[in-house]
C-alpha cells in the first residue's frame, strides 16, 4: 500500500492507483474532462492538474500513479490558475454556441430554439411552457415586440430570420384558446409579501414570477385596471381581450391587485413597512428623487445586476429606470427581479442572477450555411399578417437552424469555465475553425469544431470493437476526430452512438433529439 | 491502346491487392508491422492509396482506426498522390538562418504554386518542407529525390532544376563504389569521406574521377571509404596518404580537381603527359562551367588547408579514429580495438560490474536530459522479468543537429558494441534501433552492420561463445519529432501513433509491451566501449565535476568551420566558436549561440565564456539537448529565431495535451503578430503567461521545453522584442518590417532588374536602380545578385 496526503488528509491506496482515485477515496473532487472510468487514461485535457508540495510540480491526477510520501494539494491558487489557463486554451478553439444568438439578444432571454423545435413536433403546449419560463405576457409581446431576437437570428445571414415573434404569439394564442390556460404549479407559500408598484408589463411579470416562487405579490396601480402603458396601444394591434386574458392568468396565479392607488412618499413608507420587499415598476418617472431614492434624469438609480435601489429592500425595474419602448425588456426584468427577490427573501442576501459562461462565435462563414441548413429546411420565411395556422407555424419553425448546443447543461467545458472564470476571447489569436455538422436525424450529431480531442469516443469505439469507429486524424493543433476511410459517422458508431454521446464531455457528440432544457426543468 | 476506365480500375485494384499481399507477407500481420507496411506501400506508390490501406486491414490485425490514425500522424506518409519527384527543402536551423524560407518561396514561384498547393501543374514535382536533413554545413540544402544540393540561393532555382533534370536516371549507375586490392602493392591510400555531407556534396563523383584517373596509369593506390571526419564545412573531403609521407587533406574537392591532386602525390613515369592534358581540361572547365554558377553541388575551388585548429581541441571518444576507419569494415574496426570492450564485458565481467563501471565513469545520458546512465542501467537490471528490451534512440529530430546520424553512419559497430554491453548489463533479451526516416543512409549502414555482426557472432545466439544471446532489429521512424521522447518512441515501435505517455511508470519499469526497457541515446551507447576498454577512470578524468567525458556537437550556422565536433565537457562556448569553429563567418559580430535546438535556448555574447556542461547550460536558460550548436551573428533576428523554433515544435506537437497542442499554437500566433509588427506590450505579457503554463502543464518533454527558445530570447534580447513592437526589426530579417533599397553605389548593371521576379526594379542600364516597394516581395534576389552591394535592407 502507498501512503500519501491529499489536501492534508492521509490516505492509503494500492500501488499504481492514480492520485485521482486516491482523492475519490477521500471524497475530494477534482475536475476532469478527458478521464472516463473504465477506459484507459489519456492525459489530454490537463484540467485535473494537482500539485505535489514537496517539489512544487504540477501533475495530471487522472493518470499520475500515487507514490509514497506525496503531499498533494488539489485546489490552491496555482492549481485553479492552471485549470483556467487550460480552459482558456481549449475555449480559444472551441467553435460553437452554448445558447443561440437569438436567445442571447432577447432581453427576456427566452429559449427560442427549443420553442421552435417543440412547435415542429406539434407540441404547442410544451412550447408555450418554455416561453412562459421567461415571458409572462407572450400573446401581448407577440403582437407588439420589435423582435430584437430576429435581428440576432443566424438564418438572417442565409436568407431571412425565422419569424420568431409570430411563432411565440402563435403558441400563446393556442394556449389562450384553452378553457384553462397554462399556469405552472407554484412553489409552497413562503408567507413573504412583496409590493409591486405599477401594473405595467414589468410589474405584471414580477408579480407572476414572484407568485410562482411562493411569495404573495400585491400590485398597486394608479389606474382602474392592469396593463399600464400597454393600455395605450392601438386595439387593432393589441386587442383588449388578449391583454385581459393574459393578465387573468397572472391574477389566477394569486397576485393581488389594488387599483386606483396613488403612491406618495407617505404611502410608500407605509408599504415599505408592511411588505418584505418592494418593486417599483412605475414606468417613467417625472419627479426627481421619487420616494427619496437616488436617481438621475433618466430614472431611479439601481445596481445594474440586482435592480436594488439605494434602499435595501426596494428594487426598481422597467421604464422606472430609463425610458424604453421595449416592453420585452420590462417583462424580462420582471422575471429577473423576481429571482433576485426570491433569493433575498430566502437567504437575506441580494445577489445578482448568476451570469453563465456562454461560448459564442458570431457570424457564420458562407461555407457554413449548408452545415447549418442540415438541421433545417430550405424554405422562405412565411410572412403573413394573419395568425399562423398550425401547419404554417410548424413549417416556419422548421426553418430554425438549431444554433444552440444540445448539451448546454451537461457540457463540462461550460461548467468548468463558469467555475474557474475562464474567458473565451483571450487566446483567440488566429482565424477560427470552420464549423461542420454531421447530422443523422435518427441518431447522432457530430460537430467537430466543438471537440476538445479528449479521445473518449475513440477509446469507447475501440473498446466496443466498432468496425470503423472514431480515430485521431492528423496531429498537433490540426488533429481531429474522424472516421477512417471517410465512412459516415453513423457507420462508425453502429453500436456506440448513444454511449459516446452520453460520455462526450462537450456538445461535440449528442443524440439528435437531445433536449437537456426539457429534462432539467429549467 | 484504348482501355475502358472500368477495366483499368479493376486491374489497378487487383494490382494493389497483390502488392499489399506481398508486403504483408514480408512485414507481418501484427500491430507493430503497421509502420513498415505503410512505408513499403508508400515506397511503391509514392503515397498510400486508400484501396491498399483497406486491404491491409483485411489481411492483418490492424484496424481501420489504427491505420488511419498512424498514416495521418507521421509526416512522411501521404494520403494523396505526389509528383514524380519530391523536392525537399530543409528547414533545419542552419538552413533557416541561411535563408531556407526564401528558397522555399522561390521554388513556389518557380512552379507557380498558390496557397497550399504543393504539386506543380504538370504533376512532376512536389514541394515539401522537411525537418533537418542533417547536412547543416551545406545550408541551405534542398533534396530532389536522392540528389542533394547545398548552398542553394533563392535566385538559383532554375539551375538546380536544370541540373536535376540532367541527372535523372543517372543515379542508378554508380558502380564500382568499392575497390579491393592487395595493400602491399599500394603506393599509398586515398580516403574519401562517406558521411551524408560528403555524399551530398558529391563524393561519389569524386570517387569516380579517382577511379578514372588512376585507371591505366600504373599508379597503384588504395581507395578507401571513411566515415565522417567531422569537417563537414569542407566537404567533399579527400585525404591522400602517400607511402612514408605525411598525409594531406584536401577539402571541397570536385571531380575535375582529382587529376591534379593525384598528380601532385604520385608521379610514376607515363603519367606526366596525361597530367598535362588533365590540367588543361581543368582550366578550360573552370572558365566555361557557367551552369554551376553559385550552385555548389560541387565546390568552386580546392585548396590545401591545414585543419589542425579544427581538430586539436577535440577528444574523440564516440568518434574515435575518425576519418580513418571504413564504417563497415569489421576487420579494421577490430584492428583499432573494436569489440574488445564487448569481449571483456561478455567474458570477464558480470552485469553488476559493468553497471558499476558505467556508473563510476560518470556518464550521463547524451540525449539531453543528462540522467546518470549507470543509474538507469541499475534500474532496468533490478527489474524481475523474463523479457527485457533495449532501445537505441536514433530519432534525432532537432533541426540543426546531426550527431546521431553521423555516429550511426560512421561508427555502426561502435554503437552496436555499446548496445550489446548494455544488454549484458541489464539483462536485455532484444534490442531496437529507432532511426528517423530522414536518415536512409544510416539505416542502410546499420542494417548491413547488424548482418555482419550476426555473421561474425557479435550478435545473436551465444555471442562470442559467452552464452549470452541478444539481437537487434531496426524500427524506422516516419517523420515525428515527438518520437524522440521515450514513451512516444515505444508507442511508435509498438505500431501506434507516437503519443507520449505519463511517467511513471518509467520505461525501466514498464516499457515496450509492458516489459522493462532500457532506452539510451546513440551517443551514450557509442561512449560505452571506450569506458569499458580504457577504464572508467580515464573517462571520468575528462570533463567537469558533474559532467564527465566528452560531448559531440553539430556545429553549424554562421561559422567558418562547421561540422561535427567532440569536445571535453567544460569547454567554453568561446573556445568552440573561436578556436574550433574559426570564428563567425564573413567577419560578422557574434551575437549568440543556440544550443539544444527547440528545447534549448540562446546563449548571448555576454555569456561567451559559459562552460559547456549540463548544469551551466540549464542555468543559462539553454540545455544540452541532443547537441545542436547553431552560431548566430548580428544579422540574425532573435525574435525570428524564437518564432522559428516555436513553429517547429508547434508543428511537431502530437496534439495530445491541451498546453502543448494549443499553447504552442497560441504562442506562435503571438510571435507571428510581433514579427509582423502588429504586436503590443500586452502580447509580450501573454507570451510569457503562455510560456509559463506550457512549461508547467504539458505532458511530455516536448511541450515542457518548447517555450525555452522564447523564454531565453525574451530574457537576453528583450530589446529586440520591444523594437518589433515599435515596428522595427533591427537585424532586417522580418519581412513585414523591412524594405529593400538601392543606394547610390549602384552601377546600373541591371542584374537586379533581370533577377527580380515581380518587376519591382525597372530595367535602366547605367542608372541607379530603384525598388518599387509596392511590387517588391522581399525575395532577396536583388541583394544576392548585386555585384557592388548596393542593395540594402532598411527597417524604420
Could you confirm whether domain A2-75 is CATH 3.10.20.740?
A: yes
Going from the C-alpha of B320 to that of each of A319, B315, B317, B489, the distances in angstroms are 90, 8, 5, 28
Average pLDDT over residues B24-44: 96
B562 belongs to a structural domain: no
- Does residue A520 or residue B674 have the better pLDDT? B674
In a domain, B145, yes or no: yes
pLDDT of residue A200: 96
DSSP string, B588-650: PPEEEEEESGGGSEEEEGGGTT-B-SHHHHHHTT---TT-EEEEEETTS-HHHHHHHHHHHHH
pLDDT at A242: 96
Q: Which three cell numbers mark B241?
A: 596518404
- Looking at residue B518, which CATH number applies to its domain? 3.40.50.11540
Residues from chain A that touch B659, judged by Cβ atoms under 8 A, are 46, 85-86, 89
* Whether residues B101 and B202 fall in one domain: no
CB B656 within 8 A of CB B699: yes
The pLDDT of residue B290 is above 60: no
The answer, for B656 touching chain A at a CB cutoff of 8 Å, is yes
Chain B nearest-CA distance from A359, in A, is 17
Average pLDDT, stretch A409-425? 97
Q: Is B50 on the interface with A (CB under 8 A)?
A: yes
E-only strand ranges, A83-199:
193-197
CA distance A125 to A139: 14
A45 vs B653, B658, B669: nearest CB: B658
**Is the domain of B48 the same as that of B136?**
no
Identify whether the C-beta of residue A197 lies closer than 8 Å to the C-beta of residue A175. no
Gap between the Cα atoms of B794 and B734, Å rounded: 11
Q: In this structure, is residue B52 part of a structural domain?
A: yes
Give the minimum alpha-carbon distance from A479 to chain B in angstroms, rounded to a whole number: 6
Q: In the prediction, which pLDDT does B14 show? A: 65
Q: Does B211 touch chain A (CB under 8 A)?
A: no
Percent with pLDDT over 90 in chain B: 61
Helix residue spans in A384-510 (DSSP H): 390-397, 412-419, 456-463, 489-492, 497-503
**Closest residue to A476, CB basis, from B502, B650, B669:** B650
Q: Which residues of A touch B72 (CB under 8 A)?
A: 472-475
Quick one: average pLDDT of B531-560?
94
Q: Which of B128, B144, B172 is the last residue of a domain?
A: B172
Contact state of A43 with B53 under an 8 Å Cβ cutoff? no
Fold (CATH) for A193-347:
FAD/NAD(P)-binding domain (3.50.50)
pLDDT in tens, B64-75: 999 999 999 999
A43 touches chain B (CB under 8 A): yes
Contact A475/B at CB under 8 A: yes
Q: Is A445 helix (H, G, I), strand (E, B) or coil?
A: strand
The dihedral over CA atoms of B303, B305, B310, B316, expressed in degrees to the nearest 10, equals 90
**Same-domain status, B350 and B472:** yes
Q: Is B739 on the interface with A (CB under 8 A)?
A: no
- The predicted structure's pLDDT at residue A120: 97
Asked if the structure places residue B26 within a domain, the reply is yes
Q: What is the mean pLDDT of chain A?
A: 95
Number of inter-chain CB pairs under 8 A, A vs B:
135
Residue B224: helix, strand or coil by DSSP?
strand
Residues of A with CB below 8 A from B689's CB?
85
Q: How far apart are CA A200 and CA A328, in angstroms?
A: 11
Among candidate residues B540, B562, B590, the one where a domain is terminated: B540
The answer on B420 and B337 residing in a single domain is yes
Architecture of domain A412-519: 2-Layer Sandwich (3.30)
CB contact under 8 A, A60 and B665: no
Nearest to B697 among A16, A65, A86 (CB): A86
Cβ distance A472 to B497 less than 8 Å, yes or no, reads: yes
Return d(Cα B796, Cα B792) in angstroms, integer: 13
Question: Which residue of chain B is at minimal alpha-carbon distance from A16?
Answer: B505
Tell me: do B266 and B166 sit in the same domain. no
pLDDT for res A218: 98
Residues B223 and B370 in one domain: no
Same domain, B284 and B367: no
Q: Around Cβ A29, how many Cβ atoms within 10 Å?
A: 11
Give A477's contacts in chain B (Cβ within 8 Å). Answer: 650, 653, 655, 661-662, 664-665
Banded pLDDT at B245 (limits 50, 70, 90)? low
Q: Which H or E element spans position B564?
A: strand B563-568
Q: Which CATH superfamily is domain A101-180+364-397 in?
A: Alpha-helical ferredoxin (1.10.1060.10)
Q: A53: which 3 cell numbers?
A: 508540495
* All cell numbers assigned to B363: 556518464
With respect to residue B574, please indicate whether it lies within any of the assigned structural domains.
Answer: no
Chain B partners of A61 at a C-beta cutoff of 8 Å? none
Interface contact B72-A474, CB threshold 8 A: yes
Interface of A with B in 46-65 (CB under 8 A): 46-47, 49, 58-60, 63-65
Q: What is the DSSP letter of B237?
A: P
Per-residue pLDDT averaged across B445-469, rounded? 96
Q: Which three cell numbers mark A79?
A: 492549481
> What is the phi/psi pair of residue A394, to 5°?
-65, -40
Predicted pLDDT of residue B1: 35
d(CA A228, CA A282): 9
Beta strands in A320-405 (DSSP E): none
- Residue B306 confidence class, pLDDT cut points 50, 70, 90: very low
Contact criterion met (CB < 8 Å) for B673 and A429? yes
List the one residue out of A352, A329, A338, A381 whose CA is nearest residue A166.
A381
End-of-domain residue from the set B172, B206, B240: B172
**Exposed/middle/buried for A24, CB within 10 Å: 0-12, 13-18, 19+?**
middle
Per-residue b or e along A147-183, where b marks 16 or more CB atoms closer than 10 Å to that residue's CB: bbbbebbbbebbeebbbbbbbbbbbbbbbbeeeebbb
Q: pTM for the complete prediction?
A: 0.90
Residues B426 and B381 in one domain: yes
CA–CA distance, A250 with A256 (Å, rounded to integer): 9
Range of the domain at B251: 174-304
Which residues have C-beta within 8 Å of that of residue B289, sequence separation ≥ 6?
none
Residue among B369, B470, B359 at smallest CA distance from B419: B470
Please report residues of B whose CB lies closer than 8 A to that of A90: 658, 662
Judged by a CB distance cut-off of 8 A, whether residue A472 touches chain B is yes
Residue A475 and residue B654: Cβ atoms within 8 Å?
yes
* Set of chain A residues whose Cβ sits within 8 Å of the Cβ of B64: 467-469, 471, 484-485, 487
Q: What are the chain B neighbours of A466 within 8 Å (beta carbons)?
A: 65
Q: Is the pLDDT of residue B172 over 60?
A: no
Q: Is B662 part of the contact surface with chain A (CB cutoff 8 Å)?
A: yes
Dihedral over Cα of A363, A367, A369, A372: its sign: negative
Among left, alpha and beta (phi > 0; psi -120 to 50; other), residue B648 is alpha
Helix residue ranges, H only, B46-156: 50-59, 64-71, 93-97, 100-110
Statement to judge: residues B399 and B418 lie in one domain: yes
Q: Please report the residues numbered 398 through 457 in chain A whose beta carbons come closer than 8 angstroms to any beta carbon of chain B.
A: 426-427, 429-430, 452-453
Between B504, B658, B661, which is nearest A65 by CB? B504
CB contact under 8 A, B65 and A458: yes
Cα angle for residues B62, B65, B67 (degrees, 5° grid): 50
Q: What is the CA radius of gyration of chain B?
A: 27
Q: Calculate the CA dihedral of residues A431, A433, A435, A437 and round it to 10 degrees.
A: 180
pLDDT at B287: 29
Instruction: State the smallest CA–CA distance between residue A81 and chain B in angstroms.
Output: 9
A471, A473, A486: best to mutate for the B interface, most B CBs within 10 A: A471
Q: Pairing state of beta strands B221-226 and B188-193?
A: parallel
Distance of residue A432 Cα from the nearest chain B Cα, in angstroms: 12
- Comparing B194-198, B499-503, B664-668, the range with the smallest average pLDDT is B194-198
Looking at the fold, whether B435 and B502 belong to one and the same domain comes out as yes
Task: Work out the minimum CA distance from B749 to partner chain A, whole angstroms.
Answer: 44
Q: Per the structure block, which three cell numbers stand in for A428? A: 483567440
For residue B322, the 8-state DSSP code is T
Contact state of A65 with B505 under an 8 Å Cβ cutoff: yes
Q: What is the pLDDT confidence band of residue B244, given thresholds at 50, 70 and 90?
A: low
Q: List the single best residue of B57, B662, B675 to mutate versus A (max A Cβ within 10 A).
A: B662
**B49 within domain boundaries:** yes
CATH number of residue B130's parent domain: 3.40.30.10
Asked if B655's CB is within 8 angstroms of A427's CB, the reply is no
- Kindly report, residue by residue over B76-104, the tens digit of the pLDDT: 999 988 888 889 898 888 888 888 999 99
Judgement on whether residues B371 and B403 belong to the same structural domain of the protein: yes
In order of B262, B280, B323, the CA distances from B221 in angstroms are 10, 24, 17
Q: What is the ipTM of this complex?
A: 0.94
Most confident of A243-257, B7-21, B140-154, B435-449: A243-257
Chain A residues near residue B698 by CB distance under 8 angstroms: 46
Predicted confidence at residue B229, as pLDDT, reads 65
Task: Give CA separation, A199 vs A145, A220, A223, A227, B648, in Å.
Answer: 18, 7, 9, 6, 66
Chain A residues within 8 A of B504 when measuring between CB atoms: 64-65, 67
For residues A368 and B308, what is the distance between their CA atoms, to the nearest angstrom? 66
Partner residue opposite B662 with nearest CB, options A58, A67, A92 = A92
Q: Please tell me the distance in Å from B561's CA to the nearest CA on chain A.
A: 36
CA distance A66 to chain B (A): 9
Distance from CA of A411 to the nearest CA of B (A): 17
Among A65, A81, A451, A484, the residue to mutate for chain B (most B Cβ within 10 A): A484
Reply yes or no on whether the pLDDT at A285 is more than 90.
no
Q: Give the residue from chain A lying closest to B697, CA to CA.
A: A58
Band (B195; pLDDT cuts 50, 70, 90): low
- State pLDDT tens for residues A474-507: 999 999 999 999 999 999 999 999 999 999 999 9
Cα–Cα distance measured from residue B184 to residue B179, given in angstroms and rounded to the nearest whole number: 15
Phi, psi at residue A167, to the nearest 5°?
-70, -40
Calculate mean pLDDT across residues B372-380: 97
Q: How confident is the model at residue B246 (pLDDT cuts 50, 70, 90)?
A: low
Q: How far apart are CA B321 and CA B414, in angstroms?
A: 11
User: Average pLDDT, stretch B119-134?
Assistant: 84
Nearest CA to B482 out of B696, B709, B698 is that of B698
Pairwise CB contact (< 8 Å): B64 & A467: yes
Question: Within an 8 Å CB–CB cutoff, is residue A31 touching chain B?
Answer: no
Element at A439 (helix H, strand E): strand A438-439
pLDDT at position B159, please?
Answer: 84
Does residue B640 fall inside a structural domain? Answer: no
The owner of cell 545578385 is B785
Secondary structure (3-state) at B143? strand
Residue B571 lies in a domain: no
Q: Verify that B150 and B219 share a domain, yes or no.
A: no
User: What residue ranges do the domains of chain A occupy?
Assistant: 2-75, 101-180+364-397, 193-347, 412-519
Q: In what order do the strands lie in the sheet with B248-251?
A: B221-226, B188-193, B238-242, B248-251, B303-304
- Say whether residue B653 is in contact with chain A using an 8 A CB cutoff: yes
Cβ–Cβ gap B54/A44 under 8 Å: no
**Residue A295 vs residue A88, higher pLDDT:** A88
Counted domains in chain B: 5
Q: Per the CB < 8 Å rule, is B655 touching A64?
A: no
Asked if omega into B140 is within 30° of 0 (cis), the reply is: yes
The secondary structure of B735-750 as a DSSP string is GGG-EEEE-TT-----
Query: Residue A339 and residue B71: Cα distance in Å, rounded?
Result: 55
Closest CA to B210 of B184, B192, B232, B234: B192
Amino acid at each position: 500500500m502507498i501512503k500519501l496526503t491529499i489536501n492534508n488528509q492521509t490516505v492509503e491506496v494500492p500501488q499504481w492507483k492514480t492520485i485521482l482515485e486516491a482523492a475519490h477515496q477521500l471524497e475530494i473532487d477534482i475536475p476532469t474532462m478527458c478521464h472516463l472510468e473504465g477506459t484507459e487514461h489519456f492525459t489530454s485535457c490537463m484540467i485535473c492538474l494537482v500539485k505535489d508540495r514537496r517539489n512544487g510540480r504540477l501533475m495530471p491526477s487522472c493518470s499520475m500513479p500515487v507514490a509514497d510520501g506525496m503531499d498533494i494539494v488539489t485546489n490552491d491558487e496555482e492549481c485553479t490558475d492552471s485549470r483556467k489557463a487550460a480552459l482558456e486554451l481549449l475555449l480559444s478553439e472551441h467553435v460553437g454556441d452554448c445558447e443561440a444568438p437569438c436567445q442571447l439578444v432577447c432581453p427576456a432571454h427566452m429559449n427560442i430554439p427549443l420553442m421552435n423545435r417543440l412547435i415542429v413536433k406539434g407540441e404547442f403546449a410544451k412550447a408555450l411552457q418554455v416561453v412562459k419560463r421567461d415571458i409572462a405576457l407572450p400573446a401581448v409581446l407577440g403582437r407588439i415586440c420589435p423582435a430584437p431576437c430576429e435581428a440576432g437570428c443566424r438564418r438572417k445571414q442565409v436568407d431571412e430570420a425565422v419569424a420568431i415573434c409570430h411563432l411565440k404569439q402563435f403558441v400563446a394564442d393556442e394556449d389562450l384558446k384553452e378553457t384553462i390556460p397554462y399556469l405552472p404549479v407554484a412553489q409552497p407559500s413562503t408567507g413573504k409579501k412583496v409590493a409591486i408598484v405599477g401594473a405595467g408589463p414589468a410589474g405584471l411579470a414580477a408579480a407572476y414570477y414572484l407568485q410562482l416562487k411562493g411569495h404573495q405579490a400585491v400590485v398597486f396601480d394608479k389606474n382602474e385596471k392592469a396593463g399600464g402603458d400597454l393600455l395605450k396601444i392601438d386595439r387593432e394591434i393589441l386587442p383588449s381581450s388578449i391583454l385581459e386574458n393574459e393578465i387573468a392568468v397572472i391574477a389566477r396565479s394569486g397576485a393581488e391587485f389594488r387599483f386606483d392607488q396613488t403612491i406618495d412618499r407617505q404611502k410608500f413608507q407605509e408599504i415599505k413597512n408592511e411588505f418584505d420587499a418592494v418593486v417599483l415598476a412605475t414606468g417613467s418617472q417625472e419627479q426627481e428623487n421619487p420616494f427619496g431614492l437616488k436617481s438621475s434624469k433618466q430614472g431611479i438609480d439601481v445596481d445594474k445586476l440586482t435592480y436594488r435601489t439605494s434602499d435595501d429592500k426596494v428594487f426598481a425595474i422597467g421604464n422606472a429606470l430609463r425610458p424604453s419602448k421595449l416592453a420585452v425588456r420590462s417583462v424580462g426584468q420582471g422575471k429577473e427581479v423576481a429571482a433576485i427577490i426570491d433569493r433575498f427573501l430566502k437567504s437575506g442576501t441580494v445577489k445578482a442572477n448568476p451570469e453563465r459562461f456562454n461560448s459564442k462565435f458570431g457570424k457564420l462563414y458562407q461555407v457554413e450555411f449548408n452545415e447549418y441548413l442540415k438541421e433545417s429546411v430550405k424554405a422562405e420565411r412565411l410572412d403573413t399578417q394573419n395568425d399562423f395556422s398550425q401547419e404554417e407555424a410548424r413549417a416556419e419553425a422548421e426553418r430554425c437552424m438549431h444554433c444552440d448546443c444540445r448539451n448546454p447543461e451537461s457540457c463540462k467545458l461550460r461548467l468548468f469555465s463558469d467555475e474557474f472564470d475562464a474567458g473565451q476571447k483571450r487566446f483567440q489569436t488566429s482565424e477560427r475553425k470552420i464549423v461542420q455538422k454531421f447530422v443523422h436525424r435518427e441518431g447522432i450529431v457530430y460537430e467537430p469544431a466543438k471537440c476538445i480531442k479528449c479521445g473518449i469516443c475513440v477509446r469507447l469505439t475501440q473498446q466496443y470493437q466498432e468496425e470503423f469507429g472514431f480515430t485521431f486524424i492528423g496531429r498537433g493543433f490540426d488533429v481531429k476526430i474522424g472516421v477512417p476511410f471517410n465512412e459516415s459517422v453513423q457507420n462508425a458508431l453502429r453500436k456506440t452512438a448513444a454511449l459516446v454521446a452520453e460520455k462526450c464531455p462537450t456538445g461535440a457528440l449528442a443524440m439528435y433529439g437531445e433536449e437537456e432544457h426539457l429534462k432539467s426543468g429549467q | 491502346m484504348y482501355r475502358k476506365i472500368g477495366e483499368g480500375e479493376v486491374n489497378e485494384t487487383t494490382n494493389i491487392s497483390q502488392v499489399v499481399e506481398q508486403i504483408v507477407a514480408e512485414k507481418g500481420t501484427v500491430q507493430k508491422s503497421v509502420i513498415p507496411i505503410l512505408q513499403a506501400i508508400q515506397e511503391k506508390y509514392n503515397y498510400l492509396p486508400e484501396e491498399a490501406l483497406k486491404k491491409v486491414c483485411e489481411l492483418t490485425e490492424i484496424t481501420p482506426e489504427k491505420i488511419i490514425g498512424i498514416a495521418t500522424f507521421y509526416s512522411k506518409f501521404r494520403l494523396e498522390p505526389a509528383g514524380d519527384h519530391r523536392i525537399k527543402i530543409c528547414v533545419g536551423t542552419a538552413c533557416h538562418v541561411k535563408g531556407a524560407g526564401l528558397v522555399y518561396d522561390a521554388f513556389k514561384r518557380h512552379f507557380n504554386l498558390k496557397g497550399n498547393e504543393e504539386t506543380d501543374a504538370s504533376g512532376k514535382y512536389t514541394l515539401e518542407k522537411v525537418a533537418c536533413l542533417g547536412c547543416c554545413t551545406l545550408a541551405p540544402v534542398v533534396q530532389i529525390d536522392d540528389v542533394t544540393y547545398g548552398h542553394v540561393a533563392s535566385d538559383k532555382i532554375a539551375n538546380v532544376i536544370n541540373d536535376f533534370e540532367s541527372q535523372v536516371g543517372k543515379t542508378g549507375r554508380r558502380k564500382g563504389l568499392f575497390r579491393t586490392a592487395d595493400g602491399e602493392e599500394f603506393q599509398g591510400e586515398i580516403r574519401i569521406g562517406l558521411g551524408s555531407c560528403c555524399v551530398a556534396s558529391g563524393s561519389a563523383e569524386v570517387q569516380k574521377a579517382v577511379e578514372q584517373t588512376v585507371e591505366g596509369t600504373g599508379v597503384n593506390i588504395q581507395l578507401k571509404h571513411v566515415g565522417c571526419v567531422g569537417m563537414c564545412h569542407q566537404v567533399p573531403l579527400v585525404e591522400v596518404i602517400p607511402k612514408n609521407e605525411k598525409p594531406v587533406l584536401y577539402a571541397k574537392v570536385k571531380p575535375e580537381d582529382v587529376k591534379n591532386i593525384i598528380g601532385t602525390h604520385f608521379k610514376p613515369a607515363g603519367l606526366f603527359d596525361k597530367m598535362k592534358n588533365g590540367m588543361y581540361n581543368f582550366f578550360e572547365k573552370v572558365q566555361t562551367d557557367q551552369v554551376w554558377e553559385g550552385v555548389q553541388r560541387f565546390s568552386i575551388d580546392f585548396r590545401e588547408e591545414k585543419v589542425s585548429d579544427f581538430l586539436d581541441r577535440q577528444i574523440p571518444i564516440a568518434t574515435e579514429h575518425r576519418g580513418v576507419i571504413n564504417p563497415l569494415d569489421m576487420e579494421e574496426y577490430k584492428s583499432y580495438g573494436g569489440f574488445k570492450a564487448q569481449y571483456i564485458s561478455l567474458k570477464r565481467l558480470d552485469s553488476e560490474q559493468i553497471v558499476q563501471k558505467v556508473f563510476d565513469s560518470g556518464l550521463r545520458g547524451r540525449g539531453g536530459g543528462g540522467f546518470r546512465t549507470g543509474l538507469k542501467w541499475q534500474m532496468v537490471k533490478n527489474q524481475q522479468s523474463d523479457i527485457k528490451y533495449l532501445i537505441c534512440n536514433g530519432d534525432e529530430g532537432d533541426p540543426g543537429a546531426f550527431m546521431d546520424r553521423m555516429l550511426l553512419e560512421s561508427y555502426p559497430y561502435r554503437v552496436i558494441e555499446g548496445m550489446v554491453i548494455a544488454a549484458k548489463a541489464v539483462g536485455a533479451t532484444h534490442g531496437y534501433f529507432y532511426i528517423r526516416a530522414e536518415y536512409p543512409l544510416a539505416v542502410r549502414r546499420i542494417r548491413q552492420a547488424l548482418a555482419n555482426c550476426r555473421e561474425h557472432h557479435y550478435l545473436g545466439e551465444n555471442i562470442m561463445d559467452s552464452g549470452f544471446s541478444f539481437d537487434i532489429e531496426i524500427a524506422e521512424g516516419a517523420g515525428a519529432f515527438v518520437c524522440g521522447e521515450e514513451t512516444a518512441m515505444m508507442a511508435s515501435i509498438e505500431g501506434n501513433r507516437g503519443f507520449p505517455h505519463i511517467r511513471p511508470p518509467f520505461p525501466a519499469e514498464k516499457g515496450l509491451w509492458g516489459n522493462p526497457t532500457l532506452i539510451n541515446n546513440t551517443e551514450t551507447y557509442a561512449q560505452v566501449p571506450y569506458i569499458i576498454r580504457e577504464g572508467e577512470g580515464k573517462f571520468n578524468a575528462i570533463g567537469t565535476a558533474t559532467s564527465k567525458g566528452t560531448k559531440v556537437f553539430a556545429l553549424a550556422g554562421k561559422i567558418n568551420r562547421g561540422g561535427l565536433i567532440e569536445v571535453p565537457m567544460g569547454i567554453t562556448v568561446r573556445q568552440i566558436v573561436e578556436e574550433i569553429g574559426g570564428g563567425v563567418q564573413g567577419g560578422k559580430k557574434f551575437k549568440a549561440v543556440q544550443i539544444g535546438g527547440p528545447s534549448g535556448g540562446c546563449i548571448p555574447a555576454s555569456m561567451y565564456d559559459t562552460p559547456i556542461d549540463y548544469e551551466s547550460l540549464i542555468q543559462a536558460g539553454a540545455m544540452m539537448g541532443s547537441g545542436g550548436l547553431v552560431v548566430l551573428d548580428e544579422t540574425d533576428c532573435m525574435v525570428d529565431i524564437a518564432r522559428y523554433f516555436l513553429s517547429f515544435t508547434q508543428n511537431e506537437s502530437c496534439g495530445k495535451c491541451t498546453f502543448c497542442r494549443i499553447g504552442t499554437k497560441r504562442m506562435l500566433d503571438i510571435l507571428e503578430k510581433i514579427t509582423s509588427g502588429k504586436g503590443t506590450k500586452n502580447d509580450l505579457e501573454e507570451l510569457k503567461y503562455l510560456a509559463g503554463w506550457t512549461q508547467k502543464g504539458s505532458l511530455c518533454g516536448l511541450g515542457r521545453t518548447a517555450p525555452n527558445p522564447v523564454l531565453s530570447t525574451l530574457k537576453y534580447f528583450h530589446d529586440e522584442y520591444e523594437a518589433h513592437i515599435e515596428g522595427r526589426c533591427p537585424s532586417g530579417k522580418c519581412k513585414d518590417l523591412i524594405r529593400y533599397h538601392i543606394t547610390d553605389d549602384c552601377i546600373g548593371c541591371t542584374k537586379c532588374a533581370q533577377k527580380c521576379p515581380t518587376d519591382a526594379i525597372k530595367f535602366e542600364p547605367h542608372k541607379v536602380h530603384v525598388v518599387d516597394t509596392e511590387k517588391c516581395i522581399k525575395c532577396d534576389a536583388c541583394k544576392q545578385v548585386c555585384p557592388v552591394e548596393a542593395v540594402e535592407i532598411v527597417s524604420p
